[in-house]
């Protein structure tokens, strides 16, 4: 995988960090991609922050503090026994307890969890809240499983994970394949084994047992708040914009809802089997019912909505739009996709998923002058609201929806300002990638310097 990354564009000090990392774990392509993207924006720090090099901050920050892999045995409704692999990578706790989601998806492996955990460090730093970075999950496929099977899997997963987490240690949450239902089963098992109602051990909880208002909506809403700031900085807005949103999970649904509240029309959403075009604009209530209540597919949405058409062939990125919001998964938007978007006049791409745009595709967006928001800034609203949930749990309180949403909005506006101010300070004005990476990194690195060699 390393041949994919041109280290000659990095200063010698950073190139050697990357080469060593690739040599140590040669098959972790997604992790290499995430690290390379960050390192390639940190060149100015080699000169401006000599202490980082003296104290081996670059070498230390790319190595997780702790990596856990464990067996997750469970039995299905027929009594057949299955074994999955569970993961928790506790990447960095310089700023606070480890924090980050759990992903249940058949593609999950150590490379994917490490890339996600690495991104999470800087994303969490950008929120301004005291959270370290972590990620976990399992190569478990929740699709087609009964509620009882999901529950048994979650209980088995937590039976092992519980010894490694806690409100001041590590606070998991959801990600792909882990939503409110799974967090409920995970929390129940944690509470039973530990005999302790530690509300702050997980975020994304139900509203009657320690959850936060606006956490469900937070990643999608936050993405649109961030994108709105990018448009505003250019004297523009979402009003009248044609928007394409990939995915149809939690992030996609609430990005669609907020974009339409702000006057945009979302004309397409997707899932792994295809995409839907709805020229009337996506009916969010119907989409929620299909996806959240019935756990169906976007083809079911199209079947019930006269203005919608389902396509199992072709690409959602060929649908003409002003704004594209990739909200599905890593590397879903490649060179061909951005070429189609650019050809059709796209003005902005803002990431709701983690690392959805490939490196070649990002280069092409930059060449074409398309506004581009990296996920670690634009999708930070989810974990930011998890941070707000932790605050409420510590205070044994619950804030109303409007208050929580207003705090989320303020945090996204703050991240946007911070990215732009940092990009200016480092001589790359308007570069959201460099701004996000530098701002996120410096805060963590300075904390590591202050806390000594650990
Ligand atoms: N999985 C989400 C993310 O990628 C949220 C993590 C959390 O709330 O801890 O940021």
Three-class SS of 372-426: EECHHHHCCHHHHHHHHHHHHHHCCCCCCHHHHHHHHHHHHHHHHHHHHHHHHHC
d(CA 243, CA 356): 17
Q: Are residues 351 and 268 in the same domain?
A: yes
135 a catalytic residue: yes
**How many domains in the chain?**
3
233-288: pLDDT as tens digits: 999 999 999 999 999 999 999 999 999 999 999 999 999 999 999 999 999 999 99
Domain endpoint, select from 318, 347, 369: 369
| Tokens read off for 245 | 């949103």
The boundaries of the domain holding residue 136 are: 66-197
| Tokens read off for 53 | 């090099």
Residue 252 maps to a domain: yes
Q: Which residues contact 414 (CB under 8 A, 6 or more apart)?
A: 128
**Cβ–ligand 1 contact at 222 (below 6 Å):** no
**Cβ–ligand 1 contact at 101 (below 6 Å):** yes
Q: Are residues 76 and 59 in the same domain?
A: no
Instruction: Decide if 427 contacts 45 (C-beta within 8 A).
Output: no
Q: Are residues 111 and 58 in the same domain?
A: no
Residue 318 maps to a domain: yes
Q: Are residues 444 and 317 in the same domain?
A: no
**Cβ–ligand 1 contact at 250 (below 6 Å):** no
> CA nearest 440: which of 106, 76, 119?
119
d(CA 435, CA 234): 17
How much is the pLDDT for 174? 98
Residue 230 maps to a domain: yes
Q: Which residues contact 43 (CB under 8 A, 6 or more apart)?
A: 10, 11, 14
How much is the pLDDT for 1? 41
The backbone torsions φ and ψ at residue 260, rounded to the nearest 5 degrees and listed phi first, read -70, -35
Residue 116 maps to a domain: yes
How much is the pLDDT for 2? 46
Element (H, E) at 106: none
Domain of residue 51, CATH code = 1.10.285.10
Q: Are residues 174 and 300 in the same domain?
A: no
**Residue 103 CA, closest ligand 1 atom number:** 1
Q: Are residues 99 and 178 in the same domain?
A: yes
**Cβ–ligand 1 contact at 117 (below 6 Å):** no
**Residue 204 CA, closest ligand 1 atom number:** 8
The number of beta carbons lying within 10 Å of the beta carbon of residue 413 is 15
Of the CA atoms within 13 Å of residue 311, those in its CB half-sphere come to 14
**Spacing, Cα 98 to ligand 1 middle (Å):** 11
Domain endpoint, select from 344, 369, 394: 369
**DSSP track, 288-350:** HIIIIIS---HHHHHHH-TTEEEESSS-GGGS--SEEEE-S-TT-B-HHHHHHHHHTT--EEE
How much is the pLDDT for 79? 98
Q: Are residues 234 and 327 in the same domain?
A: yes
**Spacing, Cα 385 to ligand 1 middle (Å):** 9
**Residue 380 CA, closest ligand 1 atom number:** 10
How much is the pLDDT for 4? 81
Q: Which residues contact 386 (CB under 8 A, 6 or more apart)?
A: 99, 131, 171, 173, 203, 204, 212, 215, 218
Q: Are residues 16 and 56 in the same domain?
A: yes
Instruction: Decide if 299 contacts 310 (C-beta within 8 A).
Output: yes
Measured CA distances, 382 to 101, 136, 354 (Å)? 10, 16, 12
**Which residues in the chain show pLDDT less than 50?**
1-2
Residue 42 maps to a domain: yes
Q: Are residues 285 and 358 in the same domain?
A: yes
Q: Are residues 82 and 177 in the same domain?
A: yes
Report the phi/psi class of residue 144: left, alpha or beta, with left for phi > 0 and alpha for psi in -120 to 50: left
Bridge partners, 100 (sequence order): 172
> Among 114, 135, 291, 376, which one carries the catalytic annotation?
135
Measured CA distances, 317 to 10, 241, 249, 338, 339 (Å)? 32, 16, 18, 7, 9
Residue 412 maps to a domain: no
Q: Whose CA is nearest to atom 5 of ligand 1?
A: 383
How much is the pLDDT for 389? 98
Angle among Cα 67, 415, 18 to the nearest 5 degrees reads 40
Q: Are residues 104 and 52 in the same domain?
A: no
Residue 421 maps to a domain: no
Q: Are residues 59 and 71 in the same domain?
A: no
């Amino acid at each position: 995988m390393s041949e994919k990354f041109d280290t000659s564009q990095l200063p010698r000090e950073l190139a050697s960090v990357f080469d060593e990392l690739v040599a140590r774990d040669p098959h972790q392509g997604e992790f290499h991609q995430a690290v390379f993207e960050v390192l390639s924006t940190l060149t100015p720090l080699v000169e401006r922050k000599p202490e980082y090099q003296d104290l081996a901050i670059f070498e230390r920050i790319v190595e997780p503090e702790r990596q856990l892999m464990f067996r997750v045995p469970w039995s299905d409704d027929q009594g057949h026994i299955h074994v999955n692999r569970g993961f928790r990578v506790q990447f960095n706790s310089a700023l606070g307890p480890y924090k980050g989601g759990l992903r249940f998806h058949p593609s999950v492996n150590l490379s994917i969890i490490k890339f996600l955990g690495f991104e999470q460090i800087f994303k969490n730093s950008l929120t301004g809240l005291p959270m370290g970075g972590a990620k976990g999950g399992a190569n478990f496929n929740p699709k087609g499983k009964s509620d009882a099977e999901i529950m048994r899997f979650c209980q088995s997963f937590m039976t092992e994970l519980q010894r490694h987490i806690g409100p001041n240690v590590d606070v998991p949450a959801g990600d792909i394949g882990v939503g409110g239902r799974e967090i409920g089963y995970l929390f129940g098992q944690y509470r039973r084994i530990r005999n302790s109602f530690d509300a702050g051990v997980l975020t994304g909880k139900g509203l009657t047992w320690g959850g936060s208002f606006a956490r469900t909506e937070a990643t999608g809403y936050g993405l649109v708040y961030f994108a709105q700031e990018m448009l505003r900085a250019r004297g523009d807005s979402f009003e009248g914009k044609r928007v394409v949103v990939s995915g149809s999970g939690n992030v996609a649904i609430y990005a669609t809802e907020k974009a339409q509240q702000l006057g945009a029309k979302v004309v397409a959403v997707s899932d792994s089997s295809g995409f839907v075009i709805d020229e009337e604009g996506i009916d969010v209530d119907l989409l929620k019912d299909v996806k959240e209540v019935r756990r169906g597919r976007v083809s079911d949405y199209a079947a019930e909505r006269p203005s919608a058409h389902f396509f199992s062939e072709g690409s959602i990125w060929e649908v003409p739009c002003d704004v594209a919001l990739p909200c599905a998964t890593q590397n879903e938007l490649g060179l061909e996709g951005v070429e189609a978007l650019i050809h059709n006049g796209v003005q902005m791409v803002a990431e709701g998923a983690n690392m959805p745009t490939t490196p070649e595709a990002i280069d092409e967006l930059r060449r074409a002058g398309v506004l581009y928001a990296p996920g670690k800034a634009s999708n930070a609203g989810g974990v930011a609201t998890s941070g707000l949930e932790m605050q409420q749990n510590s205070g044994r309180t619950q804030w109303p929806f409007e208050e929580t949403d207003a705090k989320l909005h303020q945090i996204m506006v703050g991240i946007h300002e911070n990215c732009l101010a940092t990009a200016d300070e480092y001589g790359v004005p308007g570069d959201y990638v460099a701004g996000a990476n530098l701002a996120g990194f410096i805060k963590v690195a300075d904390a590591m310097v202050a806390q000594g060699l650990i």
